[in-house]
Every structure is written in structure tokens, then in C-alpha cells.
Amino acid sequence: MTAILETTVLKGAHVIDPANGIDRITDIMIHDGRIAAVGDALDAENASIIDLKGKYVTPGWIDMHVHAYGTLGFADPDTVGVYHGVTSFVEAGGPGIGTLDEFFALMTDLETDLYVGPFIRPLGLLGLNFIEGDVRTLGDVPITRWVDTAKQHKDRIRYIKCNAMGDYGPGTLNVTKGLAQILGVPLYMHIGEFQLQTPDPVLAYEAFRIAEKGDMITHIYHGNLGQIIDENGKIMPVVKDALERGVIFDLGFGGYNFSWDVAEKAFAQGIVPHTISSDLQQFNVVRPAKSLANVLSIMMHLGMPLKQIIEAVTINSAKAISLTDRAGDLSVGKPADVTVFEIEEGQFELSDCFTQTRTANKRFVPKMTFKNGKRFDVDMDLGQNEANWFLQIAEDHIPEAGAALSDRQRAFLGSLGGALSNVDWELSSAERLDIPKALELQALFHRVREENDLPLREALRAVYDSFVDSKFTMQIGLFLMRIERPLALSRMAEMAGKRPHMAA
């Protein structure tokens, strides 16, 4: 990261700002973290000049579907944010109403603007080793708590998410739609059945019927059950009807949700995503999704024009999630959120989620990001570092961060360990996701925290920093289930009883 001077001029780049009709070589002036001017031959006394000849400059990219928190999240979400050319992103369903307080307590110190689209299940998304199905796993829908939370955090909640998959039936989609209407936010629905391949009805099509203007459907090019094309490769009528009503189609690449075959057939028939998102999550950051830039390269190879691609990750996304007051364009006075990239020529293999590949001759290569005027040099490798996406419990040592715990945090760990000694759980509870056990551990954690009068963030960090070397954040009940019970009790006792012996 490199701090810039008070005034910076980005010189000679090809600026594409669809919202303002700019598509030419020109300059951009940034002053005090905001866009000061866009025009030719800009200069200012004592300004820092950055020569960007041969590069493209656009409004900061918005990724409206990532997993920064929870069972699918990263240790350092900024690695797939400002260090990937993205200035704003949305956590797509990691927390639900039962864990939003944990999310807001933890996700406060990122450089990238992080918003949230909570999931209808109170715990939020549960991970890839959970099979969506039994409607009882969705738990309760506490309307009063939802309304109060949405009012308190209205600046960060952008939509409500549900999955059109499993044997839940369309009622769950209607319940989520009703909640979205109560809260005054869009409905955001996952389609594509990649777990149970024989549900009836196919909920993807129910999602298209339920969605109204401004609601969003993601994974439109998936290759699983409930595709947007029929067996003859033709667009399903229900998809066309939704498009005509003003439903927003989001790409949502992910790890299971993009098929070259479906994309090519649908694109040829005019079904083009209004917004492009990556659905980055842990393992798919290695392949096939890799980054939002990689997903944009795939869309470019599919035939989407450059200007339309930029529109999809800037002003279209800003409009879809109501961020036009702060993001999506380079208007004077707006926060200086800027993405700088190159279009590299060569031979590049681009894979879908089903091992099918295409060879492209161009790709997006982000170079730098400006967030509120602060410069970040892009490093695509940071996101793919194993420590960033693979959570491992430190079984044979106390993590370095444990040395910095306060006396109050240590006392809390002692109390928590004592309370946990009265509860039984096994690692298999995490592997098969025993939801009642996760809720029991979560409730116990919060009860002990309140008894110790410890701020939520400090209590959560006390547990994480005692067991993991990297700063992963996960629903606390699910996290505790991932720790072997004897290790959890002995480690908490050690943390509470004395300053730990740090591993070499």
C-alpha cells in the first residue's frame, strides 16, 4: 500500500465511465480523497503525477457477490478487494439475523467497502458440506429483530438472500420475498441445484416467477438442474418473462455456477448479465473463479463489449444495490474509487466450473486501485495464498495473536472453557453440520460474554486468536464445533491461567 499526496493526477489513461458517457483518453484529478476533475491536460501545483499511458481507468469495480465472512470467507478479504482492483463488495449471505451482530462487530477494519446481503437462515450460509433440504434448518424468521437490525445498519444491508435449491419448496422464496418487502431491500436469489438433482418443483423457475423489478437472480449461466435454457438450448419462457419485468440478472461465477455451454447458448439469444460478480469463496479463488478480473476476461471472450463489461461492474451494480450516492462513477465530488487495469494480449486458458476451457487472446490485468484516494498496488497472488483461504486449527501451538490478549479476554476464555466443559460435541458435528449443536454453542458463548461484560468483538477475537494463526471470521457456534473438545478446554484453560509459551 502506498499513500498518495493530497492531490494526484492520473495522466493519459483511457477512461471509461459509462455513467457519465466518458470513453476516451483523458486525465483524472483526485484531491482529498475525492474526484476533483476529469478532463484533458489537468495539472495542479504540487500534485503527484501518475503516468498511465496505455492503461485503462474506470470507476472502482463493485463485486456484489463475494464471501468475506463465515464458513466460506477469507482471512483477509482485502486480498480479493482493493488488491484485486475491487473497491466495494457485498458479503452474499454469510451471516443471517442470528449472526449479523458478529458480522458487524468483526468486519469493520477493511480498506475495501464491505456491505452485506444477509441470508434467510439465522446462522447464514453453512458451507459446502451442508445439504440444503429440510425446511426446519431455516429456523425462525424474527420479524421484529430483522426490522430493528435493518434500521440500525441500513447503510450496510443491501439485499436479502435465499437459495432456490433443495426440497424447501417455493414457500421459502415467498417468505424471503416478503421479508425483503418489509425491509425495503431487493431480494437476491441463488439458482442452480448442484446438490440434490431431483427436487420437484425445480425452484430455479419458481425464483424467476417470484422475482419482481429490482430483485436479483444470480448464477444465470450455471450448468446444473434448473438451467435458463431447455433441452434444445432455447431460453426458457419464464426467464424471458422475468427479464421483461425488470428482474436483474447477475453472473455469480462461483465454483459450481458457470458453464461455457450454457453461457454461449444464452448469450447468443440475448441473455446478458446486467451485473457481473465473482462469487469468490475460499477454494474457488485458486480455480476456477480466481478473481473478478478473471471473470471479466471470461465475459470478454464470450463476446461482451468492454464498455458493457465496465458498466456491469460499476454503475449497474451501484444502481442494483443502491450505492449511486458513493460509487459507480467518476463524477466530481464523489469518493475517489478508481480501478486501473490493462488488457493483456496473448494466449490464455479460461475454465468454467466443469473443467471445460476456452482459449482467449485477451484478458483483464488490474494494476492499481484507489480507494477514497488511497493507492493500492494490485497483487493477485495474495488472494490465492493458502493461509488466506484454508482455515486450520493451530493444534500444536498457541497463535502469535494470543500473546496480545488482554486480562479481560483471558478471564472470559476461562469462563467460556468452564461453561463448555458441561457440553459435549465431536468434530463429526462440524462435518455433518449439527445445527442444533452449533446454536447451543453459540448461545453459550453469548451468555458467557454477557456475564463477563466483554464487548462482542473482543470476545470473538479472544477465541479466534487462541486457535488460528490467520484472522478468519466465522459464525462462533460453527467455529467452536471445528475444534476438538479436549483441545478447546485445555487451550482456554491455558490462556486464562498464564501467559502462553509461544511456539517458535
Within a domain: 17: no
d(CA 250, CA 165): 17
Q: Are residues 298 and 180 in the same domain?
A: yes
Cα distances (angstroms) measured from residue 174 to each of 22, 57, 160, 237, 464: 41, 41, 12, 21, 37
Give the rounded distance of the alpha carbon of 65 from its chain centre: 5
Query: In this predicted structure, what is the pLDDT of residue 503?
Result: 42
Contact between 114 and 418 (Cβ < 8 Å): no
Shared domain check, 320 and 395: no
Name the DSSP class of 255: T
Q: Answer yes or no: is 305 within a domain.
A: yes
In this structure, what CATH number is given to the domain that contains residue 130?
Answer: 3.20.20.140
The answer to whether residue 31 sits within a structural domain is no
CATH number at residue 447: 1.10.10.350
Same domain, 395 and 301: no
β-sheet bridge partners, residue 183? none
Give how far Cα 315 sits from Cα of 84, 159, 298, 309, 324, Å: 19, 17, 20, 11, 7
Strand partners, 164: 191
Asked whether residue 359 is assigned to any structural domain, the reply reads no
Residues 134, 268 within the same domain: yes
Instruction: Please identify, among 301, 327, 353, the residue that sits at the C-terminal boundary of a domain.
Output: 327
381 Cβ neighbours under 8 A, 6+ residues apart: none
The residue from 327, 350, 369 where one domain ends is: 327
Asked whether residue 97 is assigned to any structural domain, the reply reads yes
For the stretch 18-36, what's the b/e string if a residue is b when 16 or more beta carbons lie within 10 angstroms of its beta carbon? bbeebeeebbbbbbebbbb
Do residues 235 and 89 both lie within one domain?
Answer: yes
Distance of CA 498 to the CA centre of its chain: 38
Helix-then-strand count for the chain, H and E: 17, 15
Residue 194 lies in a domain: yes
Q: Looking at the structure, tell me whether residues 269 and 416 fall in a common domain.
A: no
Q: Is 395 in the same domain as 315?
A: no
- b/e code 68-82 from CB counts within 10 Å (16+ = b): bbbbbbbbbbbbbbb
Report the pLDDT value the prediction gives residue 501, as an integer from 0 to 100: 44
Give yes or no: residues 315 and 399 share one domain. no
Residues 96, 475: Cα–Cα separation, whole Å: 10
- pLDDT score, position 322: 98
Kindly state the DSSP code that residue 83 receives in the 8-state scheme. G
What domain count does the chain have?
2
In a shared domain, residues 422 and 292: no
Contact (CB, 8 A) for 67 and 92: yes
Q: Which residues contact 350 (CB under 8 A, 6 or more apart)?
A: 294, 297, 298, 301, 357, 358, 359, 360, 363
Q: Which of 327, 356, 378 is the last residue of a domain?
A: 327
**Is 7 domain-assigned?**
no
Directed axis angle between helix 237-245 and helix 203-210, to 10°? Answer: 30
Find the distance separating the first CA and the last CA of the chain, reported in whole Å.
Answer: 29
Enclosing domain of residue 321: 61-327
Amino acid (1-letter code) at residue 433: L
Q: Considering the entire predicted model, what is its pTM?
A: 0.96
> Do residue 104 and residue 236 come from a single domain?
yes
- Could you tell me if 248 and 112 lie in one domain? yes
- Please check whether residue 421 lies inside any domain of the structure: yes
pLDDT tens-digit profile, the chain (504 residues): 554 458 999 999 999 999 999 999 999 999 999 999 999 999 888 899 999 999 999 999 999 999 999 999 999 999 999 999 999 999 999 999 999 999 999 999 999 999 999 999 999 999 867 877 788 889 999 999 999 999 999 999 999 999 998 878 899 999 999 999 999 999 999 999 776 666 667 899 999 999 999 999 999 999 999 999 999 999 999 999 999 999 999 999 999 999 999 999 999 999 999 999 999 999 899 999 999 999 999 999 999 999 999 999 999 999 999 999 999 999 999 999 999 999 999 999 999 999 999 999 999 999 999 999 999 999 999 999 999 999 999 999 999 999 999 999 999 999 999 999 999 999 877 777 889 999 999 999 999 999 999 999 999 999 999 999 999 999 999 999 999 999 999 999 999 985 444 443
> Are residues 55 and 370 in contact, defined by beta-carbon separation less than 8 angstroms?
no
Distance CA 99, CA 357 (A): 39
CA-nearest of 232, 182, 230, 172 to 203 is 172
Same-domain status, 314 and 404: no
Instruction: Give CA–CA dist 282/386, Å, rounded.
Output: 9
Q: How many CB atoms lie within 10 A of CB 419?
A: 16
